[in-house]
Structure 1
Amino acid sequence: MDSSSFFQTAYHALSNAVREFFRARKVDKFTLSIVSIIVVAYTATDIVTLFVEQDPDIRSRTSNSANAALVFLAATGFMWIRSTVAGVIAMSGLALSLTIHEYSYAIIVTPLIFAVLVATANRIFIGAFVAACAAWSIGIWSTWPDDRPILYFSIPLLAVGALIGTLIRRGWNTQARHDAELEEMRIRQIEASSAERLSIARDLHDIVAHDITIIAMQAQAASFSKNPELAKQSLEVIGQSARNTLQDLRLLLNVLKSSEEAHFSDKSLTHEEESAATGASTLTLRRSIDQASRQLESIGFRVIEKTSGDLDALPRRIQVAMHRILKEATTNILKHAASESSCTLRVEVVDGNVLLKIENQKARATNGNGSFSTKSPSAGLGLGSISDRTSSLGGKLDVIQTNSTWRLEVTVPIRGIEL
């Protein structure tokens, strides 16, 4: 290993160690506690010496040392509160130490304060503190030539303080970015969960609403019908619709199972589940149109069915979406169209687009005064579901109303949709 690789490895190791130590929320309190204890003990020693010592020269030197000690002790204390205030006090302590020719506290405390400033202060204040340290070093070099060896210790200690402060600042920034990423992931997860709940609600509505509407209307028709054959047909439609709903619900629940649950599950699919899966895999848009026509005709509607283009060649995703849209539109016809009226189901492939047009006559209801009004479908979850499915395919939804008709037009581009 060459020297550059060694120093790079050592730097990364030290950086990771400091970052992890700081991340554990120990570096600030631990370091400040140790330095504060040292400065307090050193200051107490000077103060005790000042009162005990009888030699005037020693008392004079001790007095100067005690004065510097009090200043740097104040700087150390303010590091617990505000680093910039500690920096200002430390700069005044440097000037005092140069005046009284006492450097021990400056050598001990200044590197620590420098490290804290590099980690917390802005660049302007850091530059001012560096300038003060440089002026202090120049002052010693020019004023006290005999004390120049002190700089051989103080300057490397200041460099170490700058390095530690830089590592701490990087650790802070890394932690802040990590927290921001976690918050962004949390927000995305909430949005994804909300979208998933909306998707599940939409699928449940699409699955249940249509067949339940068929069941309710056929049950009502059977209860009022005096023809046993028609009542029997209604009961058969009710049974088939109930089986379709059950199959679709089981398929949806099976899709919602996690892969882990599926892996540990030793239960095989029932016959109904296999039938639902098979039906889903073989679904075509043409079959969906025929199914919707038969269901409407079974209720008494006169259906005009029109198709053009190669519907079987459409991408799978479009066929499934159109199937859901057809079911929802059929449900709206059952709920809101005039009984036994005519309706039109038209699907065309034109100029790279799939066009779905559904038109029906509105039902008329009395207002209580003998006059009639036309009922309009409400823009509830059903129409919202159609809009969502259309938008997900990059398509366009138009709802056109007249006094007597309701027309739904869906246009979906084929290009760009995966098979």
Structure 2
Amino acid sequence: MTSLFVTLSLISDFVIAVTGTGNLNAAESLVVLLTSLAVYVLWTRTTFAFAALIPAMVASHLLDFFMLTGLTMPLVLGAVAATAHRLFSYLALAVAVAWALLIPFTSADFGGVTWIIVPFISLAWGTGMFVGYNLERRQQDRLRIAEATRRAAHAGEEERRSLARDLHDIVAHNLTIISMQALAAKYAGTDEAAKTAVDVIGSSAGEALIDLRRMLSLLQAEGIVAGDQEAAQRELGEGASALDLEYGAVKFGRMLESLGIYTTVDTGGLEQDIPQSVETALYRVLQEAVTNVAKHSGEGGECRIDVHTRAGQLELAVDNTMPSNGSAMRVGWNSSGSGLIGMRDRVDAFGGTMSSARDGQWWRVRAEVPLHGANA
């Protein structure tokens, strides 16, 4: 609104000068016209407006008329300081001060006006810089809020993916055992074999239920879902945790034995001060690896599970024999590869390494996670 008022005022003065009804002569009218154009350009960009004001500044010195240019200069300079780049703002200030300081050398009548214009120019420029600083801070605050919102959304998405992966790891292993034992019970040749398969099904279903309950308790204890946190912590602390590596290795070994896969388990030398997060991550990797063994290793095959600590690393090795050529895998258990991806994601999250490859008739899985200084 200020620029519009000044523009209309200057144009009015110019019209008066042209019609000869005012006190301005032709030279002064030219300065009025140039100044009016500069203020009008202020509606587009402040840098353009200051550039358009330069002809008026030159004309004011040549034609010895500084009144309108001196009044317009602080307005344009303040707008430049508030909105333009800092370097341009300093350059504009230098030009404006130089223009004001030259007045005593080019005009005998307006020499004293310099000491009035210079303070106005300085005040306008300082005010503009203050406004620009606040505008910049407001913009930075908006960007920070937008970035924080984006990060919160990303963290929420990652948390949902992690929860989905945990639920998959908890349920998939036991459901694999249940489904395969149900198939074994269906084709069991004796009542004793069918009874054994049903016992394994019941045990696996119970393990899955315990895992789900403990995961819910963990989520409640961490405040992710509503619930009694004290009761959740109490349940997590009872007995051998479902996420205890040594306990899990023995449990999974027995499950593989029940499928007819000869399994050896070595957990000697495990330290007792393994961080819970690291142990949980390796437990899930072990669980997925054993699930893959159950899917792909033929009956009568072999599996070796080795968990130990060495040189500040928690190391896991799962080796199993592959079915002989021509042997069919268990129907319905062709791997999509998503399990290996989830395993690598877990190990990578802690700055560890993982590999899985065939070695002759063996399939070998290796995972190493640093005990301390993990990335997670």
Question: TM-score by structure 2 length?
Answer: 0.82
* Residue of structure 2 aligned with 1:405, choices 362, 369, 375: 362
Contact kept in structure 2, 1:398 and 1:408, CA below 8 Å: yes
Given the alignment of the two structures, is residue 358 of structure 1 paired with residue 318 of structure 2, yes or no? yes
How far does residue 143 in structure 1 lie from its aligned partner after superposition?
4.2
Residue of structure 1 equivalent to 2:161: 198
5 Å-filtered alignment, 1:62-81, equals: 63-81=26-44
Distance, in Å, in 1 between the alignment partners of 2:328 and 2:180 is 22
Residue of structure 2 equivalent to 1:214: 177
The farther-off stretch of 204-213 and 274-283 is 274-283
Distance, in Å, in 1 between the alignment partners of 2:98 and 2:246 is 88
How far does residue 60 in structure 1 lie from its aligned partner after superposition?
5.3
Distance, in Å, in 2 between the alignment partners of 1:137 and 1:352 is 73
* Residue of structure 1 aligned with 2:248, choices 285, 288, 299: 288
The letter for the 2-side match of 1:291 is K
Given the alignment of the two structures, is residue 259 of structure 1 paired with residue 223 of structure 2, yes or no? yes
Residue of structure 2 equivalent to 1:233: 196
Contact kept in structure 1, 2:14 and 2:33, CA below 8 Å: no
The letter for the 1-side match of 2:295 is K
5 Å-filtered alignment, 1:120-199, equals: 120-121=83-84, 126=89, 129-130=92-93, 132-199=95-162
How far does residue 111 in structure 1 lie from its aligned partner after superposition?
0.8
How far does residue 332 in structure 1 lie from its aligned partner after superposition?
0.9
- The one of the two structures with greater contact order (alpha-carbon pairs below 8 A, sep at least 6) is 1
Distance, in Å, in 2 between the alignment partners of 1:62 and 1:325 is 91
Distance, in Å, in 2 between the alignment partners of 1:260 and 1:327 is 24
Residue of structure 1 equivalent to 2:300: 340
The letter for the 2-side match of 1:324 is R
Residue of structure 1 equivalent to 2:338: 381
Contact kept in structure 2, 1:354 and 1:411, CA below 8 Å: yes
Contact kept in structure 2, 1:247 and 1:275, CA below 8 Å: no
How far does residue 69 in structure 1 lie from its aligned partner after superposition?
2.2
Contact kept in structure 2, 1:43 and 1:70, CA below 8 Å: yes
Cα gap change, 1:393/1:81 in structure 2, threshold over 3 Å: closer, same or farther? closer
The farther-off stretch of 208-217 and 400-409 is 400-409
Cα offsets for 1:237-282 (capped at 9, x unmatched): 22232233233234434544683863xx689969xx9767746747
Cα gap change, 1:38/1:260 in structure 2, threshold over 3 Å: closer, same or farther? same
Contact kept in structure 2, 1:79 and 1:86, CA below 8 Å: yes
5 Å-filtered alignment, 1:3-152, equals: 33-45=1-13, 47-48=15-16, 51=19, 53=21, 59=22, 61=24, 63-121=26-84, 126=89, 129-130=92-93, 132-152=95-115
Cα offsets for 1:113-170 (capped at 9, x unmatched): 1122333445665566445434543443234444334223211111112112212332
Q: Which runs of 5+ in 2 are unaligned?
A: none
Given the alignment of the two structures, is residue 303 of structure 1 paired with residue 303 of structure 2, yes or no? no
Given the alignment of the two structures, is residue 391 of structure 1 paired with residue 348 of structure 2, yes or no? yes
Distance, in Å, in 1 between the alignment partners of 2:42 and 2:203 is 79
How far does residue 203 in structure 1 lie from its aligned partner after superposition?
0.9
Secondary structure of the structure 1 residue equivalent to 2:24: helix
Q: Which runs of 5+ in 1 are unaligned?
A: 1-32, 54-58, 367-371
Distance, in Å, in 2 between the alignment partners of 1:260 and 1:303 is 38
Contact kept in structure 2, 1:315 and 1:417, CA below 8 Å: no
How far does residue 413 in structure 1 lie from its aligned partner after superposition?
4.0
The letter for the 2-side match of 1:169 is G
The letter for the 2-side match of 1:36 is L
Calculate the aligned-residue CA RMSD, in Å: 3.6
Cα offsets for 1:275-326 (capped at 9, x unmatched): 6774674753322122112211222222223332245454434433332222
The letter for the 1-side match of 2:179 is A
Query: How much identity, in percent, do the aligned residues show?
Result: 27
Residue of structure 2 equivalent to 1:29: none
Contact kept in structure 2, 1:317 and 1:417, CA below 8 Å: no
Cα offsets for 1:347-397 (capped at 9, x unmatched): 33445444332222212463xxxxx68999857122223223333344332
Residue of structure 2 equivalent to 1:3: none
Secondary structure of the structure 2 residue equivalent to 1:309: coil
Cα offsets for 1:50-86 (capped at 9, x unmatched): 6474xxxxx5535554433222111011111233332
Distance, in Å, in 1 between the alignment partners of 2:101 and 2:307 is 89
Residue of structure 2 equivalent to 1:20: none
How far does residue 89 in structure 1 lie from its aligned partner after superposition?
2.7
Residue of structure 2 equivalent to 1:243: 206
How far does residue 110 in structure 1 lie from its aligned partner after superposition?
0.9
Secondary structure of the structure 2 residue equivalent to 1:339: coil
Cα gap change, 1:52/1:315 in structure 2, threshold over 3 Å: closer, same or farther? closer
Secondary structure of the structure 1 residue equivalent to 2:367: strand
